[in-house]
Structure formats: C-alpha cells, structure tokens
Amino acid sequence: MVKIVLYGDKSDTSITLPLCRCLERQGGVLYYGGGYLAEYCCTAPKFAVFETETLKGCDGDNTVIIFKSSFERPPDICRREGLCAVCETENRRAADFLSARGVDIITCSAGDRGDLTISSIGDSRTVVNVSRCVTTLTGRCVLPGEVTIKTAPISNAYALLAVCSVLLVSGNI
C-alpha cells in the first residue's frame, strides 16, 4: 500500500478531493483526515491518504508527503528509502527544509522551473514534463522526458501535479 500524507493547513482542501477521486480509479483509496474516515474502492485499497497539520515522524515505507502551501512547523522527517516529498517550486520554506534534511523532493510548477511541469491536459489524461530522473518508491528511475498519466480534469495546477507525482512515484502511470 502506498501511503500519502497531505501535510499542512487543514482548511486547505484543494488537493484532497482531486487526489482521492483519482486514486479511487487507480486501485482504491482509504482516506483519514479531520476525524473523518472514508474508503473509495470495491476491493482492498492500494492507497491510504492521511491529512494532518502535525507530523512527529515518518517511519513508513512507500510514503509520499505532499506539502500544502502553508504549514505551521516543519515535520520531523529525514532522508530514507521509500520516502518522497512533493512541494510547489514557489514553496521555498518547504523546499529549503526538505533539501537541508536530504529528503527526496519532487518540485511541481505550472511554469517551467519544477521537476514536474504540465505539458498538456486532456479530458482523461495529462502529459507532464519530467525535468530530471525521478526515483519511484520501488527504486526504479523515471528518465527525463514527457510522461502521459491518466487523470480526471483537475482545475488547480498544483493539485493536478501533486496527483501526477503520486502516480509517477508509485509506478501507476
């Protein structure tokens, strides 16, 4: 199971629903946040999403931490196999913190400065440009270039790129 942590301000739900809806079609998802538990699947889910404002440690393998634009304090995490973080290129606070801790980061940008940028968007797919080698949670390397990822239409560019990042690093492309 791939674990996804949505880290930051609990009132920011711009990523939550698009992520859960997309993961529902990719094998199912179990969601927990704000005291609410939901399961979107017909069989055992392949993904678990946890929404939180605090993170005192992250020991799980196959974990992706998605940083929202605002968060109160940095989580207690450091570099380890099977852990990847996603943040907006413009979120310098998160990017600087993660770099200092040596955590694998995927930066996302609607422009052309991130590790993952949007090339084109269709009704059922998004083509993203991967600007550097991205290591999946299983250790496979996705080489730079364009990658087509099955998604639903998502209007928020960062939410779309965060969903694409999860699918990319989990090998669901």
CA 119 to chain centroid, in Å, comes to 18
Q: Report pLDDT digits (tens) over 119-167.
A: 988 888 889 999 999 988 888 999 999 999 888 778 888 999 999 999 9
Query: Which class does domain 2-169 fall in?
Result: alpha beta
Q: Under a CB-based contact definition with an 8 Å cutoff, are residues 53 and 159 in contact?
A: no
Q: What is the mean pLDDT of the chain?
A: 87
**Terminal-residue alpha carbon distance, the chain:** 16
Cα Rg of the chain, angstroms: 15
The predicted model scores a pTM of 0.90
* Beta strands 2-7; 83-88: pairing state: unpaired
- Domain extents in the chain: 2-169
Q: How far apart are CA 34 and CA 87, in angstroms?
A: 22
